Amino acid sequence: MSDFLVQPDPGDARLTRRVTGVDHEGKAVETSVTMERPLTLFLNGQEIVTMMTIGDHPDCLAVGYLLNQGMLRPDDVITGIDHDDEIDTVVVRTQRKTDYEQKLKKKTLTSGCAQGTVFGDLMDEIEAVRLDPDAVIRTSWLYALSREINTTPSLYLEAGAIHGCVLCQEDRALIYMEDVGRHNAVDKIAGYMALNGIGPEGKSFYTTGRLTSEMVIKTARMGIPILVSRSGFTAWGVELAGQVGMTLIGRMKGKRFLVLAGQERLQYDADLSHIADEDQRHRRKGSSKDDAA
């Protein structure tokens, strides 16, 4: 079992709500549903975006978002982060005067839930990314991570309608963040890494969502060479992973997975006769192919 630096707190009353309804037989039911609330992000004096989020870790979400959109540089000095829960705002203040006006003029909509966006010239910048060619991922690590992540108490298991992302090192899960959009969850991890001085060396990244171009771009910008998912791939995600030298592993359920880029990093050291197929109990409540989108 990993000693998580951060992990989900499904007992946090702010993150879910109990609601009543009826099931397919007309019987009364009560279930948990995931909360979502707006959070408006300011960079210095400029309003940047309003995001729909579950509301935890607003400082990490704000910093990670700005880094992954190229609106903050890795060497920028953050002088303050102010979060006002009453008016749902977070303000990131920097020592350097930022160039967000130009960034806001060039915007590309992506396939992320809740209209994720990639600002500026990230599609050009991604060509300059160089990921560690010597990084490896063992199949024994993959199976251990999948088992632990899928059984860790989470909103993913409690209520569904949410995505999870996990920063990993070998067979250890380090940082597990959740949100209504996978782009928010990955931004929270990027922000936590930046605010706590955690580098990408020796790391891999796990997500419950699809392996899209957005996920590949964000993971590559974080300097992480291995991206793993329970879900499937998009063609552009696979193409971009090949361009930046990323290992892309999808449809990771039980003993099964597919690798569509960076196969050379994989080391087959697990005995499949000792790996069980995914236990139905370890799938989130009400899961479906559409819910994992």
- DSSP codes of every residue in 105-154: HSEEE-SSTTT-EEETTHHHHGGG----TT--EEHHHHHHHHHHHHHS--
CA atoms of 172 and 85, how far apart (whole Å): 33
Q: Which of 93-107, 125-139, 148-162, 174-188 has the highest mean pLDDT?
A: 174-188
Strand order in the sheet with 46-53: 46-53, 37-43, 89-94, 78-84
Question: Among candidates 191, 247, 181, 245, which has minimal Cα distance to 214?
Answer: 181
Q: How far is CA 102 from the centre of its chain?
A: 26
Please give the residue that has the higher pLDDT: either 11 or 293: 11
Average pLDDT rounded to a whole number, residues 16-45? 94
71 has a pLDDT exceeding 60: yes
Domains of the chain listed by start with CATH number: 37-121 (3.10.20.10), 137-282 (3.40.140.10)
- Tell me the pTM: 0.87
| Contact status, residue 100 vs residue 116, Cβ threshold 8 Å | no
Q: Which residue has the tokens 């910093």?
A: 63
| pLDDT value for 293 | 45
269 has a pLDDT exceeding 60: yes
Q: How far is CA 192 from the centre of its chain?
A: 12
Task: Pull the structure tokens for residue 68.
Answer: 């992954």
Angle at alpha carbon of residue 87, lines to 85 and 93, rounded to 5°? 75
154 has a pLDDT exceeding 80: yes
Q: Which of 12-21, 28-37, 55-64, 112-121 has the lowest mean pLDDT?
A: 112-121
Show Cβ contacts of residue 237 under 8 Å, excluding neighbours closer than 6 positions.
210, 211, 212, 213, 215, 216, 248
CA atoms of 64 and 257, how far apart (whole Å): 29
161 has a pLDDT exceeding 90: no
Residues 215-250: tens digit of each pLDDT: 999 999 899 999 999 999 999 999 999 999 999 999
